[in-house]
Structure 1
């Protein structure tokens, strides 16, 4: 189990909350738009990563990989992040967080499940109540940026209407309409502009244009030497 100290940012104000997470699930290949998902699959195939046997695929990862640290460590120079919305179930309620499914791409080429476990999964320290965005979920916009040659470069951008609705993901995963308390679920990502690649700084944000608010975070990657 891991404890995340976060802030609930709601229309009625802010409050501190402590989420105790004992299950972490990464929903892979979670595209609603088949064309966009095929594009992302092709991106990863170009890196030697096999096509999934089923879509979506649910990968279980140790919850200890979740953190809100400004710096994460990764072995070698083959990892990269992906902006994703994250569902957190607690006390019978559902919250929307923002995270990065940071993944080792070299390991992913021979074992996707193993690669998911290899890296930390950074998350922002703010969440929204799901009930406040449920009726306009598809209008939420995900973006990410990377720092390349000292320049801030747009890496991902698009509305989440290309991804499966979170209620659909929950039903496919649990067979019910509810996610068990203490569960965090990453909900899928968008194609990378210019292709999947490695970097040492990653920024992500989700914009709620209807309620005029944003959650964002940034982290650096400290490279640990791969000595074989």
Structure 2
């Protein structure tokens, strides 16, 4: 029997919204999903300098335990060596693809030991609202992802960009199929992120959102980060 997690969510279309209970039994994180191959290689080279092993290929798909998915407003982490990361997400409901957002919170201290290890160590907060992909596909590259953190008592913009720098959902799902996989019902797929402004760093609070400037709507989630003391 597979482990599962349930989330109460709102499915929002141009015509209205519906509250549903989603059941997830798998979480897949798409990594190295940038469209600009030169910029992607530069990022890989930078990480290699700090001990993060280069991927075998790009993109890569990392499995994390589905129990790491959460809609909570607070998560616990190991010490102060982790950070959030806003990403667009995809789910499949009755053969229709829906778009949401999540934070691929990752332990940066342990990242040099392996990306799968670093990702598995942290919960992944996600929004509780999803939009149908077919409503935004025509203006997909204009969709924005944004995140902010708390520093010195102030809210600071941490990430701010459009999804134009990432593989589109169609491209991402094409690569997933090449792996012999698919976006089955019950799977949450992370689609990638943009760079951190001022560098990757810890914060006691992380806020992230997905913004559709064409249809004038946004989905947003904020969570506190509570460090567990390291005693040995």
Q: TM-score, normalised by structure 2?
A: 0.93
Counterpart in the other structure of 1:127: 130
RMSD over aligned Cα, in angstroms?
1.6
1:226 counterpart = 2:203: no
CA offsets, 1:58-108, max 9 Å, x none? 001111111110001101110100000000112222111110000001111
Question: Does structure 1 residue 204 correspond to structure 2 residue 208?
Answer: yes
Report the Cα distance in structure 2 between the residues aligned to 1:201 and 1:73, rounded to whole angstroms: 12
Regions of 4+ moved over 4 Å = none
Deviation at 1:42, TM superposition (A): 5.1
| SS, match of residue 206 in structure 1 | strand
* Aligned residue number for residue 30 of structure 1: 33
Q: SS in structure 2 opposite 1:41?
A: helix
Count of paired positions: 228
Q: What is the CA-CA distance between 1:16 and the residue it aligns to? A: 0.3
Matched position secondary structure for 2:176 = helix
Match of 1:18 among 17, 21, 24: 21
Q: Any stretches of 5+ residues in structure 2 without a counterpart? A: none
Matches within 5 A, 1:110-125: 110-125=113-128
5 Å-filtered alignment, 1:8-87, equals: 8-38=11-41, 40-41=43-44, 44-45=47-48, 47-87=50-90
Larger mean Cα displacement after TM superposition, 74-83 or 171-180: 171-180
Give the conservation status (yes or no) of the 8 Å contact 1:156–1:191: yes
CA contact 2:100–2:210 (8 Å) conserved in 1: no
Q: Secondary structure at the match of 2:119?
A: helix
5+ unaligned residues in a row in structure 1: which ranges? none
1: CA distance between counterparts of 2:197 and 2:85? Answer: 11
Q: Is the CA contact (8 Å cut-off) linking 2:176 and 2:182 kept in structure 1?
A: no
Residue in structure 2 matching 1:215, options 219, 227, 231:
219
TM-score (norm 1): 0.94
Q: Is the 1:36–1:162 Cα contact (8 Å) retained in structure 2?
A: no
Cα 1:39–1:171 change in 2 (3 A) is same
| 2:93 corresponds to which of 90, 94, 98 | 90
- Alignment of 1:182 onto 2:186: yes
> Distance between the aligned counterparts of 1:35 and 1:153, measured in 2?
29
1:191 alignment partner, SS class = coil
State which drifts further: 114-123 or 32-41: 32-41
- Report deviation, 1:178: 5.3
* Partners of 1:13 and 1:215 in 2: CA distance: 15
